[in-house]
Chain A
Amino acid sequence: QQQVKQSPQSLIVQKGGISIINCAYENTAFDYFPWYQQFPGKGPALLIAIRPDVSEKKEGRFTISFNKSAKQFSLHIMDSQPGDSATYFCAASMNSGYSTLTFGKGTMLLVSP
């Protein structure tokens, strides 16, 4: 079974700090790597995504770093805010056939005031 391994399971960061969540994958055919953000009582929503032709993508305070040789990618949240407290899921998929997203198990982030 295709897998995406996500760590840590939970994370507490002080306001203004950097939050880092890591994911590793096994299938070298994966070519799309999104991150989803989920607030309590809501469905996940796409936060940011990257394809393996670039090593980094930044949108505001959120950055994805991608290491193709190590088969790893990570989400960095700069200047973390209490409003960033949520569950974050990494995912991966192949753009071929009937490929679907394979999700990591999620990271619960708490940003303390």
Chain B
Amino acid sequence: EVQLWESGGGLVQPGGSLRLSCAASGFTFSSYAMGWVRQAPGKGLEWVSSITGGGGGTYYADSVKGRFTISRDNSKNTLYLQMNSLRAEDTAVYFCVTTGSENYFASWGQGTLVTVSS
């Protein structure tokens, strides 16, 4: 059974940084592209970033490009999202997702809440 467990969310001031982690189990982690999808309170879904299985390819939404960095450690079965220069509009629940070769999100973690506020 695929399991994804996010951690690292919390309250941060505007301009601050946070690093999210996603621990994966139940599948061959290095064989799967992974990603992050967020959902602001009461709002819809927004894709944030994706990374290929080997880590050599990364993709970002325009809203986070230059501020967020996705990475992975296949030896630890863990996905990361480094978030810098955080803004109030980054406040959301961040979901870790598995991404097939066709960019569908088959498995989701439970989400971690990031709140950007002074």
Q: A and B bound?
A: no
Chain A contacts to B: CB under 8 angstroms? none
